[in-house]
Amino acid sequence: MKPVAIFRHATTEGPGYLADFLDACGIPWQLVCIDAGDALPEGPEAFSGLVFMGGPMSVNDDLPWIPPVLALIRGAVAADIPVLGHCLGGQLMAKALGGTVTRNPIKEIGWGEVEVARTDAAQQWFGTLSNFTAFHWHGETFSIPPGAELLLASRYCRHQAFALGKHLGFQCHIEMTAGMVREWCRIGAEEMAEAAASPGVQPPVEIERDLVPKVAALNEVAGRVYAVWLEGLKQD
């Protein structure tokens, strides 16, 4: 099988639990470190799937790699090669597929419940789950691209995930490990302090409370979602 390409946009926002899951399933994968200057592939054909991780930048920033990434996403969708996006990755997908990315009414940082839509599409990805606790770290949000279906919503952000057939974009983070949460809390302490008045922002002590069981529960949800996404991988 061709490898899954995982695109990293910041050193602290790698594949996390997704890498562990792919390894456990025997799925080859290749990390493309955009933050380190790795060259983007000219097209998606060398890969069985494309995954885009998070990052502190905006998809609306004037960065040289954003237009070719958007074209890569559109090329993958046209070639029926599944795409998966986490936070910034979901926003890149939304913009590439005809949606928009704008400022969310409030910033969301920390653990928060997301509600699963009562639709066939949502059931395909999340089974019988009606809600779960996801991890959040964003100040912007995407619109749902034309033809896609809303899957998840939260109290502070109406659009937390969408699907367009086998292509899946998240605003929230399902890829987290305990180490990633601790590292983000460390490097993001100033941002959290500045946004402390927001009802969607938790302090580090609250984020890290009962961290191991919180992450384990999130990994269980992510494992189900990733398993469904893997079913769509290009086999040739």
pLDDT digits (tens, 9 = 90+) for 40-72: 999 999 999 999 999 999 999 999 999 999 999
C-alpha distances (whole Å) from 171 to each of 22, 27, 49, 214 are: 21, 25, 19, 18
- Provide the whole-model pTM: 0.97
Strand pairing class (167-170; 29-33): unpaired
210 within 8 A of 5, measured Cβ to Cβ? no
C-alpha distances (whole Å) from 97 to each of 123, 165, 192 are: 23, 13, 31
pLDDT of 235: 80
pLDDT of 45: 96
Q: Residue 141 pairs with which residues in a beta bridge?
A: 102
Write out the chain's pLDDT in tens, 236 residues.
Answer: 999 999 999 999 999 999 999 999 999 999 999 999 999 999 999 999 999 999 999 999 999 999 999 999 999 999 999 999 999 999 999 999 999 999 999 999 999 999 999 999 999 999 999 999 999 999 999 999 999 999 999 999 999 999 999 999 999 999 999 999 999 999 999 999 999 989 999 999 999 999 999 999 999 999 999 999 999 997 87
138 within 8 A of 104, measured Cβ to Cβ? yes
Q: Which domains does the chain have, with CATH numbers?
A: 4-230 (3.40.50.880)
